[in-house]
Amino acid sequence: MIYVTRREVFSASHRLHNPELSDEENTELFGKCNSPNWHGHNYTLEVVVAGDPDPKSGYVIDLSVLKKIIQENVTSKLDHRNLNLDVDFMKGKITSSENLVVEIWKQLAGKIPSGNLYSIKLYETENNYVEYKGE
Ligand code: NI
């Protein structure tokens, strides 16, 4: 089994806020991430596809194809957007990296033409990332 990774980057703004909590509870829970005037991150996304190389091409997946799928289904919808306001698949959700990586998985599931979607890592900063494997 070979694991092939494509890295993409995007920049987006957001605010961590739970509308079911009071302003005081939101401040207590999220601190400066609850700031009403938004803040931004330069996110890095790593999409891993697992499979056996095709005997004809030697590829698990053509990385130029994977790049296009990620750009069309994910980064074009997130880059330079406000995750709370502009992104259909984040409507009504707290815009944590945890929730975002699950929704990114759903955007890519079923769209990978060869190999299997294995994992997605989402870096919010150099030091903080989440990983999701679909369950
Ligand atoms: Ni943030």
Q: How far is the centre of ligand 1, averaged over its atoms, from the C-alpha of 47 (Å)?
A: 21
- Among 9, 10, 4, smallest CA distance to 82 is for 10
Instruction: Note residues around ion ligand 1 (Cβ under 5 angstroms).
Output: 33
Q: How far is the centre of ligand 1, averaged over its atoms, from the C-alpha of 32 (Å)?
A: 9
Q: Write the CA distances from 36 to 2, 23, 39, 42, 118, integer angstroms.
A: 44, 10, 9, 19, 36
For the chain, domain boundaries: 2-132
Among 33, 72, 98, 135, which one carries the catalytic annotation? 33
Residue carrying structure tokens 């091409």: 57
pTM of the model: 0.96
- Sign, Cα dihedral of 11, 13, 18, 19: negative
Residues 50-87: tens digit of each pLDDT? 999 999 999 999 999 999 999 999 999 999 999 999 99
The residue-averaged pLDDT of 25-32 equals 96
Q: How far is the centre of ligand 1, averaged over its atoms, from the C-alpha of 135 (Å)?
A: 24
Residues facing residue 7 across a β-bridge = 46
Among 14, 17, 103, 124, which one carries the catalytic annotation? 124
Q: Is 80 a catalytic residue?
A: yes
What CA–CA distance (Å, rounded) separates 43 from 7? 11
Residues 85-128: tens digit of each pLDDT? 999 999 999 999 999 999 999 999 999 999 999 999 999 999 99
Q: How far is the centre of ligand 1, averaged over its atoms, from the C-alpha of 27 (Å)?
A: 14
Mean confidence (pLDDT) of the chain = 97
Q: Is 2-132 a CATH 3.20.20.70 domain?
A: no
